[in-house]
Amino acid sequence: HQPNFRPDQEALEESPQQLVRVRSWVREERGQAANIAKMEVLLRHSLDSLGSWIQTRPTGEQAQAELEKGKVEIDSLRRQLETLLGEDEQALAARQAHAMQALHVQYREVALMVVVALGSGWFAILLLTNSIVSLVKHVGEKTRRLAKHLPLLPPSNGNV
């Protein structure tokens, strides 16, 4: 005994939920809402046709013609979905490339700031070292003059 499983009924019940999911994925700014609306009409028509076909259960050539028509509609839907997917993949790739460019620019800016900071630090160390050496020389000169019992020289404008 098999359970009462009706894939057509399941598809009819799930299709509105799937359409809501597809709409949420599509970005309005890319103008895809109109494409989704067209696909929704085509899907509803296909599902309605399938439902009426299942109810009437045609035979022979009529059944073959209905199946062929349904296949054409489903193929059209598949192509449209593939097109949307391709466009989304292209948009994603473009956004990723743009994000990578922005990241590389940020890396260059950070590297430049590090170089400037290191250069400024070395310059400050050089100035400080030069000032200390100058003071030590000046103190050394005063010490030598005092050791020789010579008078100290008055400080010049640049020295302490």
Summarised one tens digit per residue, pLDDT across range 50-95 is 777 767 777 778 777 877 887 888 888 888 878 877 877 888 899 9
pLDDT of residue 70: 78
pLDDT of residue 2: 44
pLDDT of residue 68: 82
pLDDT of residue 18: 73
pLDDT of residue 114: 96
pLDDT of residue 109: 96
pLDDT of residue 96: 94
pLDDT of residue 75: 85
Q: Which residues of the chain have pLDDT under 50?
A: 1-3, 5, 29
User: Are residues 66 and 58 in contact, defined by beta-carbon separation less than 8 angstroms?
Assistant: yes
pLDDT of residue 8: 59
User: Are residues 80 and 41 in contact, defined by beta-carbon separation less than 8 angstroms?
Assistant: no
